[in-house]
Chains A and B, each alone.
Chain A
């Protein structure tokens, strides 16, 4: 790939591209950390930690704003072409999706705060935690794909999203059974179910990031059959 093989004639342009990559990775790291913290707070029903998650989301929003500004300024000043253009446009997409994942983590944090005193079955928490790990792996791989511009991994990530969806469906059924068993659980279960839903959505955004990586690398959109996701 040219962007890695030889630098721009205008070195400040090259530096800005590197800065854009750095900001994206940094934001990726922050989002991963936030998802981990949110899941952790949820599993432990730690309201304090959950509040921190909610407030930390602002840092991620700030990061996204930085990336947007840099990207827009580069488009305005450098008239990027070809791979550079794709990289900048891709970075905007990645940042948006990362920000959405951050929002998902924040939602999880909010719901954690609302979950009441008595504890549900550990099995349910374990299911959500498992889901979180799966999604985190997806996010992690997607961010790697963006950094290394690996289109093969990107396709793999999109395929793997079905796994996350399947896990969510099974969790959903599990929660349903649980709620039917004991209506007193309904409030907390619903909260937990929404958390699982949020994580599932985070997985979708990870897929989007992988698609952006694919676009940056190849200039093409991932085929439509890989593109099956509910967009809202």
Chain B
């Protein structure tokens, strides 16, 4: 079934160094279009590092050095011709801790489109904000208090606001770095349902510590261990019948 999926992002021989320390070793991984790809593995295995390579968030760390090829629609994202700000508009990100700006709910969502000049007037902006909030499944809860601070929402609502903010810039790829780790199970379930819906329009890569979550939301799963990509494949296959012993040991809760 994976044959007809188009590759949205591709990493080839990706190595990442933090100063002297190598964090990723020759990772080759494809992110399929309109699929949810989950990256799992123990802490410090490099899954977040890889995710952050996909929108060059690692650029903000001085000592971080990325080698290898990372492409978005076949175009190398570390190419000089690529503007990192535009890249991040195309590859949005949702973080572990819900981090809305300390501004109004409206402003939170409107910020991205505004700085990228995606709308021409207020009406258009209103539409973008409403659509984004609707898509993030939080519109009904906040439509009457758009002018109130985003930080006043509950954790799960904040995270959905952050998702709305991320999709407001109409990215092609959505990166999620443990988006539910700070949330309770119900909020988590809502976000997972949301991820499943967002898959129609976005390509999603998600880092998660919860294997159950990876199993629930993703079509593809990649297992990282000590900076290496150990195994990747269909989620169903990885969670019922992994081929690699390390994967097996990790997902069954044995010391890997």
Q: Are any A and B Cβ atoms less than 8 Å apart in their complex?
A: yes
Which segment of B148-156, B188-196, B235-243 sits at the interface?
Answer: B235-243
Residue from A82, A219, A220 within 8 A of B252 (CB atoms):
A82
Chain A interface size, under 10 / 10 to 19 / 20 to 34 / 35 or more: 20 to 34
Cβ B240 vs Cβ A85 within 8 A:
yes
**By the criterion CB–CB under 8 Å, are B240 and A79 in contact?**
no
User: 8 Å CB contacts to A: which residues of B220-256?
Assistant: 239-242, 245, 247-249, 251-255
Contacts of A81 in B (CB 8 A): 211, 215, 239-240, 251-253
User: B240 to chain A: which residues have CB within 8 Å?
Assistant: 81-82, 85-86, 219
Question: Is the pair B252, A83 in contact by a Cβ cutoff of 8 Å?
Answer: yes
Q: Is A121 an interface residue (CB 8 A)?
A: no
Q: Count the B residues whose beta carbon is within 8 Å of the partner chain — how many?
A: 16
Separation of A81 and B255 alpha carbons in the complex (Å): 14
Please measure, in the bound complex, the distance between the C-alpha atom of A82 and the C-alpha atom of B252, giving whole angstroms.
Answer: 6
Q: Which residues of A contact B245 (CB under 8 A)?
A: 2, 5
**Would you call B255 and A6 a contact (CB within 8 A)?**
yes
- Give the complex CA separation of A219 and B251 in angstroms: 15
A8-16, A110-118, A173-181, A187-195 - interface stretch: A8-16
Residues of A near B2 (CB, < 8 A) are: none
Closest to A6 in B: B254
CB of B255 within 8 A of CB of A86, answer no
Q: Is B212 an interface residue (CB 8 A)?
A: yes
A8–B253 CB distance below 8 A: yes
Further 12 A-B residue pairs, CB within 8 A, beyond A8-B254, A9-B254, A218-B241: A2-B245, A2-B248, A2-B252, A5-B245, A9-B253, A80-B252, A82-B241, A82-B242, A82-B251, A82-B252, A84-B252, A219-B240
Q: Report which A residues bind B (CB closer than 8 A).
A: 2-3, 5-10, 13, 79-86, 218-220
A-B contact pairs, 17 of them (CB 8 A): A2-B245, A2-B248, A2-B249, A9-B253, A79-B211, A80-B252, A81-B211, A81-B215, A82-B239, A82-B241, A82-B242, A83-B248, A83-B252, A86-B240, A86-B241, A219-B240, A219-B241
